[in-house]
Chains A and B, each alone.
Chain A
């Protein structure tokens, strides 16, 4: 079966600064992968490159075996795909717009997810609390049938109860053969869900390891991640 993601020799510059370099990364299908790195390490940039928001890169990116931008976009569901939605729209309207623009969007799934996450169909986006906006983003992202899901810091600023509901949603709604990549700089938010972790530091991938391997050595994933930062202070 083709890999969910295959990246070779990826490099990316912006404003004359090297943001990412020499990235080689392969992810199999059917896994939940944690993308770990300090604030500003390049996690979001990597997701933007995979999804197609960022386009001026060196190297090769393929998702589920396809490489051109429109094909990749059909295989990837990125949590940022709601950027630009009219804030006056209601939650229910969001589903209509998504259906028009994305043929793989499942309105029935979205309605169930919205209910699970306690989102009111009639609420306007601009009136949603930050937590509810994040929940809406998650519901939208998971309602598409994609091969690769990219969640960028989905639990940022989320309280414990909401996080539990969101974790449940992720488990329930990710298709079996799909791969899900979650970026977070607070590892403990997601660590019991992860099959493997990918650590980004110094503009490149410094480690890719199975969660079980790390724990078998008696180390928590959080400690493993922090070991890359030695005695440095980070967020």
Chain B
């Protein structure tokens, strides 16, 4: 996996796992792969994975069961909050980018609506 070299990798892995949960690759209650396995799959240090998982456990996204491993929480409220935060982060980034182009909020809304309409109509060639 390719990483942004200016952001701590453990943070990027947290984001990666959050997204896996949001898109459904990891369902509530699913077991997360073992630390060493994740390290190999993502080609990062075991310590980095451990830190990412520790943060996710602290946030309540993951639950650690002694002797069994780490599992995605079944608490759907927590997961919904997490999804909300991720969406907000994306929106914030888009907002900042468009504002940087000099667009006012009303313009942004109009542009987005227009774009979505076009995508739907030209939808077949994706």
Q: Which residues of A contact B (CB under 8 A)?
A: 30-32, 164, 167-168, 171-172, 176, 188, 191-195, 211-212, 215-216, 218-223
Instruction: Determine whether B112 belongs to the interface, using a CB cutoff of 8 Å to chain A.
Output: no
Residues from chain B with Cβ under 8 Å of A216 in the complex: 8
Q: How distant is the Cα of A176 from the Cα of B39 in the complex, in angstroms? A: 12
Q: How distant is the Cα of A32 from the Cα of B33 in the complex, in angstroms? A: 22
Could you list some 17 contacts between A and B, CB below 8 A? A32-B45, A32-B47, A171-B44, A171-B45, A172-B40, A192-B5, A192-B9, A192-B43, A192-B44, A193-B45, A211-B9, A212-B51, A215-B5, A215-B7, A219-B6, A220-B6, A221-B5
Contact of B6 among A32, A164, A176, A218 (CB under 8 A): A218
**Is A194 within 8 A of B45, CB to CB?**
yes
**Is B10 within 8 A of A212, CB to CB?**
yes
Given contacts A171-B40, A192-B3, contact A176 B46 (CB under 8 A): yes
| Minimum CB–CB distance for B38 against chain A, Å | 10
Q: Which residues of B contact A (CB under 8 A)?
A: 3, 5-10, 36, 39-40, 43-48, 51
**Is A195 within 8 A of B8, CB to CB?**
no
Contact of B43 among A171, A195, A215 (CB under 8 A): A171
Q: How distant is the Cα of A223 from the Cα of B5 in the complex, in angstroms? A: 10
Leading 3 A-B pairs by shortest Cβ distance: A220-B5, A215-B8, A212-B8
**Is A30 within 8 A of B6, CB to CB?**
no
